[in-house]
Amino acid sequence: MNVGLLTLTYRLYGLESVKERRSILRHLVAIVRAEGPAFAVCEIAPDAGLQRASLRIAHLSTDATHTRAALGRLEGKLERGNGYEVIEATTEVL
């Protein structure tokens, strides 16, 4: 069994409250959850302030190539949106 980990660090723009920050993160988490049960997502370093956020996404599969491809496609969907952009992304397969 292979576990792939995708860590995304975001820069968040124009936020004035924690409520706005949580709204963006809920949107990103919803995108991951829509991909199916092979994915799990959580926020890491939640005290990074209003302008930054980090998500770690896990993918479970029997094929490392499939895991890398699935995480790559998901990264493309999560790269940029209204009020946020990825400033750092790392992928590893265990």
**In the 8-state DSSP scheme, what is residue 48?**
S
Quick check: 46 pLDDT over 80? no
Residue type, position 59, single letter = H
pTM of this structure: 0.92
pLDDT tens profile 14-30: 899 999 999 999 999 99
Instruction: Name the residue ranges covered by the structural domains of the chain.
Output: 2-93
Average pLDDT of the chain is 94
9: left (phi over 0), alpha (psi -120 to 50) or beta: beta
pLDDT tens-place string over residues 51-82: 999 999 999 999 999 999 999 999 999 998 88
CATH hierarchy code of domain 2-93: 3.30.70.1120
